[in-house]
Amino acid sequence: MDYAERLLAWFDTNKRAMPWRNTNDPYAIWVSEIMLQQTQVDTVIPYYEKFMDRFPTIHSLASATLEEVYNYWQGLGYYRRAENLYKGAKMVDEEYGGVFPKDIDLVKRIPGIGPYTLGAILSIAFHTPVPAVDGNVMRILSRQFLIEEDISRAKNRKVFDEKVMALMPGDPNRFNQALMELGALICSPKDPGCIECPMQPGCMANHEGVTNLFPVKTAKQKVTVLTYKVMIIRRDDTYWMEKRPEEGLLANLWGFPLVPKDKFKRHVNKDWHINKLKTVSHVFTHRKWELEPLLIEFRGERALMKIIEQAQEGKFVSLAHMNSIPIGTAFKKVIKELQTYRH
């Protein structure tokens, strides 16, 4: 049995049932691939099903509002993915007549579709022979063939693309999925399941006992810590929330006003009545927020008006209504502290 035959035989008997595996609709595969970025399959399935019920076609997604799309994304996090999917659907609807293109150059123009997602959609939906190389695939190949190129450097991606193409049989659809599945189920980052691995007979890292040295990954980016005071401004039983800017972390989502810790003191005066809540932290890809929530009530309206006037868009929201607007996970943690404090 050659490489592909061995891998595909394993895939056919071991693949997990997933709703997007029952279709060759490129839009459905696109939605699933975007949701699966940074999120586990089991978490994605219920979100995917609800999303596809509400937005079954590219046109239905393109005709919705971004606010509604965010509502269906709530809980999945990384909202930039939802925004790009929405922009992409609008583009396909307006420029390609609502039909997902087969042409690689046309797909490359769609927002949010990088080389991996492009490969996954085209190979799964249209059986186009293109590689779909993600972290799973790089890990497997680097171990099996002792590829020493650093997987954290974008320029090395082509080494893995070429390897996939050299191994790919006439069935790119199953082959790309099988590689991803092997990485997800067997060849895991820590403690790979070599004993049950179908590819073990030809795996060089396994033969040489060096699986822990592969993949080679050196360029770790540092995580920057940013500390903010979170202003939870109360008026009666509602709290001031603002829509975040269009760019940057948690873009377009709602949250409380943030002030860098070192600049906070200059805002405060005797009109402010402040209670401290427990600090929460939230880690993004390369940034960490330390959030120090303050429950604030103003004596008199002047200080309050000053803050409200600075916001691009904002409103007072009751605790009960906070789950009906799209709020980033970092702020949801703050809301949890607020609920605990109040009860």
- Under the criterion CB under 6 A, does residue 192 sit at the interface with ligand SF4? yes
Stretch that binds ligand SF4, among 7-15, 17-25, 136-144, 221-229 (CB under 6 A): 136-144
The size of the interface with ligand SF4 (CB under 6 A), counted in residues, is 15
**For residues 118-140, b (16+ Cβ closer than 10 Å) or e, as one string?**
bbbbbbbbbebbbbbbbebbbbb
Minimum distance from residue 194 beta carbon to ligand SF4 (Å): 3
Taking the complex as a whole, how short is the minimal distance between the CB of residue 11 and ligand SF4, in angstroms? Answer: 14
Q: Which of 33, 242, 292, 337 is catalytic?
A: 33
In the shown chain, the binding pattern of residues 206 to 235 toward ligand SF4, with x for contact by CB under 6 A and - for none, equals x----x------------------------
Greatest Cα pair distance, the chain, in angstroms, is 80
Rounded to 5 degrees, φ, ψ at 291 are -110, 120
Phi-psi region of 262 (alpha: psi -120 to 50; beta: other; left: phi over 0): alpha
Residues 137-176 that bind ligand SF4 (CB under 6 A): 140, 143-144
Nearest of 111, 154, 114, 150 to residue 130 by alpha carbon: 114
Nearer to ligand SF4, 213 or 283 (CB): 213
Q: Which region holds residue 128: left if phi is over 0, alpha if psi is between -120 and 50, else beta?
A: beta
Asked if 186 is part of the footprint of ligand SF4 (rule: CB under 6 A), the reply reads yes
Selected from 69, 118, 121, 199, the binder of ligand SF4 by CB under 6 A is 199
67 is catalytic: no
User: Could you say whether residue 197 binds ligand SF4 (CB under 6 A)?
Assistant: yes
- Rg from Cα positions in the chain: 24
Beta carbons of 325 and 247 less than 8 angstroms apart: no
Q: Does 194 help bind ligand SF4 (rule: CB under 6 A)?
A: yes
And the tokens for 85? 């999917």
Contact 301, 270 (CB under 8 A): no
Region binding ligand SF4 by CB under 6 A among candidate stretches 23-31, 79-87, 196-204, 307-315: 196-204
Q: Whole-angstrom Cα distance, residue 115 to residue 127?
A: 16
CB of 116 to ligand SF4, least distance (A): 19
CB of 213 to ligand SF4, least distance (A): 11
Helix pair 26-36, 79-95: axis angle to 10 deg = 160
In whole angstroms, the minimum distance from the beta carbon of 214 to ligand SF4 comes to: 8
Shortest Cβ 325–ligand SF4 spacing (Å): 44
Give the nearer residue to ligand SF4 in terms of CB position, either 216 or 268.
216
Contact 329, 256 (CB under 8 A): no
Active site residue ranges: 33
Could you list the residues that contact ligand SF4 (CB under 6 A)? 140, 143-144, 186-187, 192-194, 197, 199-200, 203, 205-206, 211
